Structure 1
Amino acid sequence: MSERKAYPLRISAEVLAAMQRWADDELRSLNAQIEYVLRDALRKADRLPAPRRPPASDEQPAEPAGDA
């Protein structure tokens, strides 16, 4: 897991309340919701690589390239 850093955030009461409602709907903490939204925005802007996912059980692993 990556290192966690604390960062004070100034945010309007209206935005904070909306984020809290969204976090409640998604069963996340407010902090986790804010991080989720930031990560999603960073991925969409190609500023953060997409997370790697393991292959599904019905997918075959990729064959290694090389001489056979």
Structure 2
Amino acid sequence: MAERKKILLRLDPAVHDALARWAGDELRSTNAQIEFILRRSLSEAGRMPKNSGEMPRRGRPPKRRPAADQDRQDDAVGNGEAGDDD
């Protein structure tokens, strides 16, 4: 993923508070809410660049298991060893 741009944004405190409350209602950070609103506005105006990346996913990324662990589990499932109720 390309490096994300950082900007300084000055907001009226009341506007920031309203954004923060809205973000909290949608389980987003204030920063993510601002990006969400900007992307939606760009799309509605037909100005979203075609080469823009996806909106980053919210939350913690999934844990990645080492490939060796995944291979062992795949073998066990394929052989009927895991989860047999016999």
Same fold (TM over 0.5): yes
TM-score after normalising by structure 2: 0.54
Residue 69 (structure 2) aligns with = none
- Considering Cα pairs closer than 8 Å and 6+ residues apart, tell me whether 1 or 2 has the greater RCO: 2
Structure 1 residue 41 and structure 2 residue 41: aligned? yes
1:18 — aligned with what? 18
Aligned to 2:28: 28
> Quick one: which amino acid aligns to residue 36 of structure 1?
F
Hey, which bits of structure 1, 4+ residues long, moved more than 3 A?
Answer: none
CA positional deviation for 1:2: 3.6
- State the aligned residue count: 51
| Structure 2: gaps spanning 5 or more residues | 53-86
Identity of aligned residues (%): 53
RMSD, matched Cα? 1.7
TM-score, normalized by length of structure 1? 0.68
Larger radius of gyration: 2
- Deviation per residue, 1:12-59 (Å, 9 max, x gap): 0011000000000000001000000000000000000588xxxxxxxx
User: Could you list the runs of 5+ residues in structure 1 that have no partner in the other structure?
Assistant: 52-68
How far apart are the structure 1 equivalents of 2:14 and 2:28? 19
